[in-house]
Amino acid sequence: MYDDFDRCYRAVQSKDARFDGWFVTAVLTTKIYCRPSCPVRPPYARNMRFYPTAAAAQKAGFRPCKRCRPDASPGSPEWNVRGDVVARAMRLIADGTVDRDGVTGLAGRLGYTTRQLERLLQAEVGANPLALARAQRTQTARILIETTELPFSDVAFAAGFSSIRQFNDTVRTVCDMTPTMLRQRARARFGRGEGGAGALSLRLPVRTPFAYEGVFGHLAASAVPGVEEVRDGAYRRTVRLPNGNGIVSLTPQPDHVQCRVILDDFRDLSTAIARCRRLLDLDADPEAVVDALGADPDLNVLVAKAPGQRIPRTVDEHELALRVVLGQQVSVKRARTYAGRLVAAYGQPVTDSSGGLSHAFPSVAQLADVDPAHLAFPKTRQRAVLTLIRAIADGDVTLDPGCDWNSTREQLRAIPGIGDWTAEVIAMRGLGDPDAFPVTDLGVQLAAKQLGLPSGQRALTEHSRRWRPWRSYATQHLWTALDHAVNQWPPKEN
């Protein structure tokens, strides 16, 4: 979009917040870049330039506006919609791959050389992987500086910087202020920040409309004992992270999600935030979905009833895949029981002083020698679970934010006992493919019958083509037509 000057300029003139994250506006005379919705008076058109990302604007010598905070706006929904290598790279960078494995590791995950990947990213988003990772580190650092009382040394390493000097230099260059000045300014405007040792309270921005009841209701209904719970109006869960475990508490609001994070290691903060956003599908483009699905006379009533549905996703693709296979052909309650047994037997214990969480969901490595006695369900599904664990461990199935959606579907279908329903649900909730469609899902079939949609898998699949590329969101809307616990938030007391 940033290549279309007239369209971008009209968005800036209208101060339309729906375009935040799609591009940033740079002003040549002030050397500042802003969100499209920045409340200040727009500059003359001749003084404006548009960039696809904050990293591209920073690389060109611009610093973020202190009023609209463009470096804290929701991420671009474009990377969630697309399945090409640039979008896959952007999702991996957001997950912290460059900070952990470097640009070489990122390129290796994508199957490209470093030079090829840098050329592709430079051409499309105006910045190389290091610049994009630097922009993300700076954004995380600024959030911590302004919203917590953490010492700057902790902030630097939590944000992913390798040294205090690098942290100070980067913040000063990008923000045109020292860390001390940023914190003093934030205190003057908002008071003292929250958070103590190991605990942080953050605000996760979200595009409106935001029908959070669907995503939070689904997560609550399928919560695995010990790993997830609902307490005091918040969905809470444990998270396995690169340097330790964490506990996140997510409380929905109409225009944001309040997030409280407790970490074993502050270096995992950026990754934890990215995974919380992915779990709740916060970087979706609800207006585009509403426009597309609301135009269908068969869905417009459902869409108008609760616009802004999000997909209940995951913090760990491996965990989601295993849980989906465990839940094949059984109720949500039974699937929770099966997963809870694995967690109790193989999950790593965690300490939760604020609630009832007890374990992190076990990794594939921890499940490598799983005892079939803990798989108390039919032999065919036991074999599917064990084969999936081995396939992930051996690299025969790739499940991560940067994987190719269609290739992973084929890898999953090659496993005996995994069919189209399982592959599509994993693609939808685990991988984030916006066009996944589990046509054989019982809930989808029941809702389609209620709405008078075509019956039969082939007929419904053909009918669903009019919903592309948003069939995952059409599925979520269909689920909302059912009288089921996945649609209840806060959940009803048992």
In tens, the pLDDT along 316-370 reads 999 999 999 999 989 999 999 999 999 999 999 999 998 999 999 999 999 998 9
pLDDT above 90 for 374? no
* Torsions phi, psi for 370 (to 5 deg): -60, 140
Write b or e for each residue in 345-363: b if 16 or more Cβ atoms lie within 10 A of its Cβ, otherwise e: ebbeebebeeeebbbbbbb
Helix H or strand E segment including 126: none
| The pLDDT of residue 197 | 42
Measured CA to CA, the distance from residue 321 to residue 219 in angstroms comes to: 15
Measured CA to CA, the distance from residue 121 to residue 490 in angstroms comes to: 42
Assigned token pair, 405: 């959606």
Measured CA to CA, the distance from residue 242 to residue 267 in angstroms comes to: 9
pLDDT digits (tens, 9 = 90+) for 159-202: 889 899 999 999 998 888 899 998 998 887 655 554 444 578 88
pLDDT digits (tens, 9 = 90+) for 465-493: 999 999 999 999 999 999 999 999 999 87
Output the average pLDDT for the chain.
91
Measured CA to CA, the distance from residue 174 to residue 33 in angstroms comes to: 11
pLDDT digits (tens, 9 = 90+) for 195-250: 444 578 888 889 899 999 999 999 999 999 999 999 999 999 999 999 999 999 99
| The pLDDT of residue 158 | 84
| The pLDDT of residue 205 | 87
pLDDT digits (tens, 9 = 90+) for 265-300: 888 888 999 999 999 999 999 999 999 999 999 999
Q: What is the pLDDT averaged over residues 35-62?
A: 91
For domain 5-72, the CATH architecture is 3-Layer(aba) Sandwich (3.40)
| The pLDDT of residue 15 | 86
Where are the chain's structural domains? 5-72, 78-147+149-190, 317-350+361-479
Higher-pLDDT residue of 146 and 408 is 408
Superfamily of domain 317-350+361-479: Hypothetical protein; domain 2 (1.10.340.30)
Q: Checking DSSP bridges between strand 348-349 and strand 256-263, what pairing results, if any?
A: unpaired
Active site residues: 34, 441
pLDDT above 90 for 18? no
| Residues facing 263 on adjacent strands | 246
Assigned token pair, 64: 């973020």
- Fold of domain 78-147+149-190: Arc Repressor Mutant, subunit A (1.10.10)
